[in-house]
């Protein structure tokens, strides 16, 4: 059996020894025909490859920790278009290269909803990259030459879905605006970009001051864009208030 497993590895099978041994036992007990056994082996190998592919793409996506969508409290916001989000969750916008803008104050769930779109895209076999916008621009601006910048830009232009979080929290100079314009422009109409922000389009000038490309940047991003506005109080402030209230009540009960 050890020799057989080694030969299967040489053929390129990724399935481990234990699943294959279990399949052999199942084949013997169920008296599978040679064709049935091969079908089961192929199915096992495909599952293994799909799992390995998902693990690799998930690592590259760098989505990190996140609240699952089934734990998102849709009753918390005063206003949110849940129907639009469920439509986006079907990922039809990816096939059309359309963009998504999550807009609202800090702490209302924009990042959570954006990340869950990314996770859904990964499950469906798409390549995804998640970055905060300040981190992405800082990464590009660290490049020391035009060729190096061009190579690094491909990291942001190649994924099927690019999620850039937190536009509006850190001011950027005109060079950073140019880099974001290059990303949006190169993805325009064939690959989807998701942005989260606390600002209306007309306020983007407060972030990208004196950027000559700002009008073109907004125009290209907004041309084929689904906008989901969230009107709510901060989840974090609500959680903090709840903890403070619980601590106060406990202290009173102990007195």
Question: Is residue 236 very low, low, confident or very high in pLDDT (cuts 50, 70, 90)?
Answer: low
pTM: 0.82
Q: Give all domains of the chain, ordered by start, each with its CATH number.
A: 2-61 (no CATH), 69-237 (3.40.50.300)
Weakest mean pLDDT among 18-22, 135-139, 148-152, 163-167: 18-22
pLDDT for 76 beyond 80: yes
Which residues, 6 or more positions from 130, have their beta carbon under 8 angstroms from its beta carbon?
61, 62, 63, 64, 114, 115, 118, 163, 165
């Amino acid at each position: 059996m050890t020799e057989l497993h080694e030969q299967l590895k040489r053929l390129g099978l990724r399935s481990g020894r234990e699943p294959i041994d279990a399949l052999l036992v199942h084949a013997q007990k169920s008296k599978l025909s040679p064709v049935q056994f091969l079908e089961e082996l192929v199915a096992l190998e495909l599952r293994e490859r799909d799992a390995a592919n998902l693990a690799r793409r998930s690592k590259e996506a760098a989505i990190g920790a996140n609240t699952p969508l089934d734990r998102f409290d849709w009753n918390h916001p005063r206003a949110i278009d849940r129907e639009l989000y469920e439509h986006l969750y079907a990922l039809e916008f990816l096939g059309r290269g359309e963009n998504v803008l999550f807009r609202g104050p800090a702490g209302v769930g924009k990042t959570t909803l954006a990340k869950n779109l990314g996770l859904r895209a990964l499950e469906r076999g798409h390549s995804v990259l998640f970055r905060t916008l300040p981190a992405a621009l800082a990464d590009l601006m660290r490049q020391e030459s035009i060729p190096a910048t061009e190579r690094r830009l491909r990291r942001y232009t190649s994924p099927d879905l690019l999620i850039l979080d937190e536009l509006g929290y850190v001011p950027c100079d005109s060079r950073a605006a140019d880099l974001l314009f290059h990303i949006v422009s190169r993805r325009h109409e064939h690959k989807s970009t998701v942005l989260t922000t606390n600002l209306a389009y007309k306020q983007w000038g407060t972030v990208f001051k004196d950027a000559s490309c700002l009008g073109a940047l907004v125009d290209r991003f907004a041309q084929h864009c689904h906008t989901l506005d969230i009107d709510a109080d901060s989840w974090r402030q609500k959680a903090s208030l709840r903890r403070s209230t619980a601590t106060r009540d406990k202290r009173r009960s102990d007195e």
